[in-house]
């Protein structure tokens, strides 16, 4: 029997880019893999491709949008209907916008997708994670250099700065993950942050010059070259750390850590470990918490 058989791995945003390549690699190990995404057609076609390429038919697609509280809660319900235990949750779906945008709940969109969604989805799936032995949560970050968090700017209160707002939201997610790791330690669920590495994907392909602040706009042609369509080659490379985090036995019991694209441990920025910074991010999250949205 394959070592990963019997394990269930959920990957949000597993229908394209790095998430898809992660799903492909993890499905190859024999695990059951549930991929999620907003678009049903894209999801069904990703699912078919994974089954065809790996021979693993225990792959499923679950539709869901994590940009709203209602969407997160609906996705969590759909996932637990299919899986009574979840061994690995990969919070991979992310958002990078070139212009200011708000979620359906009135939150700054980077905060909604990159910070609130991984927190809320993890907690909504906690019973299924607790039902697995040594469950792992992997939160996928962006920006290879851990950067300082300004707790007064988690929803771009000091002005929207495109790529910088994206990177700051990922730093806030790193702090949130450290707090979540502490919270879930007594439940035996680990939480770690992984950096995949740069890849040419729909996300990077959609970046416009507007997303670059000030003089960085001059670098736009260079970035276009760097993120040139490559048929999934760079996304496959970037998926290595997620595949390792999801399947490696040496990862059991490891929590509250950060690993780079080469799966090497690094330190986050000191502000990510600062409990006051974590508390102010959690305060913004808690302000969004009410009773779960009713079933349709
Ligand atoms: N690409 C890079 O260079 C890079 C570098 C560092 C970190 N990252 C991080 O890696 C992760 C994956 O990035 P990527 O570049 O692979 O992105 P991508 O190619 O744009 O793929 C995103 C995936 O997430 C889904 N998705 C997007 N928005 C969603 C939403 N609101 N709700 C549910 N699903 C959603 C997409 O499917 P649908 O569109 O059908 O929903 C797709 O499956 C992100 O967290 C990103 O920040 C990327």
- The encoded tokens of residue 201 equal 């994907």
> Does 66 contact ligand 1 (Cβ within 6 A)?
yes
Q: What is the pLDDT of residue 291?
A: 61
pLDDT number for residue 226: 86
pLDDT of residue 248: 96
**Is the Cβ–Cβ distance between 171 and 271 less than 8 Å?**
yes
- Rounded to 5 degrees, what are φ and ψ at 192? -135, 160
Closest CA to 21 of 7, 35, 31: 35
Q: What number does the ligand 1 atom closest to the CA of 39 have?
A: 40
> Which of ligand 1's atoms lies nearest the C-alpha of 206?
20
Please tell me what DSSP assigns to residue 211: G
CA 126 – CA 188 distance, rounded (Å): 11
Determine the residue of 11, 12, 13 to mutate for testing ligand 1's pocket, defined as the one with the most ligand atoms within 8 A of the Cβ atom: 13
pLDDT at position 292, please?
A: 53
Cβ–Cβ contacts within 10 Å for residue 222, how many? Answer: 9
CB 125 within 8 A of CB 79: yes
> 222: Cβ–Cβ under 8 A, 6 or more apart, which residues?
none
Distance 13 CA to ligand 1 centre (A): 6
Mean pLDDT by 10 residues, the chain (296 residues): 84 98 98 98 98 97 98 98 98 96 98 98 98 97 89 97 95 98 98 96 90 85 88 97 96 96 96 98 94 51
Task: Output the six-digit token pair for 223.
Answer: 């970035």
CA separation for the pair 193, 273 (Å, rounded) = 13
What is the number of the ligand 1 atom nearest to the C-alpha of 35?
Answer: 43
Tokens of 232: 């999934």
How many whole angstroms from 37 Cα to the centroid of ligand 1?
Answer: 9
**Could you tell me the distance, in angstroms and rounded to a whole number, from the CA of residue 27 to the centre of ligand 1?**
19
Residue 39 tokens, joined: 């678009």
Pick the atom of ligand 1 nearest to 235's CA. 16
Ligand 1 centre from 41 Cα, in Å? Answer: 16
pLDDT at residue 171 in the model: 98
Task: Give pLDDT, residue 224.
Answer: 87
- Give the closest residue (by CA) to ligand 1 atom 36: 13
Q: Whose CA is nearest to atom 41 of ligand 1?
A: 38
Mutation pick for ligand 1 pocket among 10, 14, 16 (CB with most ligand atoms within 8 Å): 16
Residue whose tokens read 């960085």 = 216
CA–CA distance, 226 with 141 (Å, rounded to integer): 19
H or E stretch covering 276: helix 275-286
In this prediction, residue 215 carries a pLDDT of 81
pLDDT given for residue 145 in this prediction:
82
The CA distances from residue 86 to 133, 136, 261, in Å, are 9, 9, 24
Pocket test for ligand 1, best of 14, 73, 93, 262 (most atoms within 8 A of CB): 93
Which residue's alpha carbon is nearest to atom 4 within ligand 1? 198
- Mutational pocket test of ligand 1: of 10, 11, 18, the residue with most ligand atoms within 8 Å of the beta carbon: 18
Beta-strand runs (E) in the chain: 8-12, 32-37, 59-63, 88-91, 136-140, 190-194, 258-259, 265-266
- What Rg, from alpha-carbon coordinates, does the chain have? 18
Atom of ligand 1 nearest to the CA of 64: 33
Cα 42 from Cα 276, distance rounded (Å):
41
Q: Which domains does the chain have, with CATH numbers?
A: 8-286 (3.40.50.720)
Ligand 1 midpoint to CA 2 (Å): 29
Residue with tokens 């959609």: 206
- For residue 144, give the 3-state DSSP assignment: coil
Atom 8, ligand 1: residue with shortest CA distance: 142
Mapped onto helix, strand or coil, the DSSP state of residue 80 is helix
Task: Answer yes or no: are the C-beta atoms of 138 and 80 closer than 8 Å.
Answer: no
């Amino acid at each position: 029997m394959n070592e990963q058989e019997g394990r269930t791995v959920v990957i949000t945003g597993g229908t394209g880019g790095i998430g898809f390549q992660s799903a492909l690699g993890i499905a190859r190990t024999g695990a059951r893999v549930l991929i999620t995404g907003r678009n049903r057609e894209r999801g069904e076609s990703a699912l078919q491709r994974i089954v065809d390429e790996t021979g693993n038919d225990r792959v499923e697609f679950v539709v869901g949008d994590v940009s709203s509280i209602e969407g997160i809660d609906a996705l969590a319900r759909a996932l637990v209907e299919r899986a009574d235990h979840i061994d690995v949750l990969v919070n991979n779906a992310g958002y990078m916008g070139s212009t200011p945008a708000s979620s359906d709940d009135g939150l700054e969109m980077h905060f909604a997708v990159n910070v609130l969604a991984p927190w809320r989805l993890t907690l909504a799936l906690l019973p299924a994670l607790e039902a697995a032995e040594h469950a792992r949560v992997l939160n996928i970050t962006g920006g290879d250099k851990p950067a300082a968090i300004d707790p007064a700017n988690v929803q771009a209160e000091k002005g929207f700065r495109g790529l910088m707002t994206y990177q700051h939201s990922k730093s806030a997610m790193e702090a949130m993950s450290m707090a979540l790791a502490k919270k879930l330690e007594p439940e035996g669920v680990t939480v770690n942050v992984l950096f995949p590495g740069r890849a040419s994907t729909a996300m990077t392909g959609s970046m416009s010059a507007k997303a670059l602040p000030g003089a960085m706009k001059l670098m736009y042609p260079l970035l276009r070259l760097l993120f040139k369509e490559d048929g999934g080659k760079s996304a496959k490379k970037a998926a290595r750390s997620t595949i390792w985090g999801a399947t490696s036995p040496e990862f059991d019991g490891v929590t509250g850590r950060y690993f780079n694209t080469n799966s090497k441990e690094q330190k986050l920025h000191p502000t990510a470990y600062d409990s006051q910074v974590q508390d102010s991010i959690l305060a913004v999250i808690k302000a969004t918490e009410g009773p779960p949205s009713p079933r349709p």
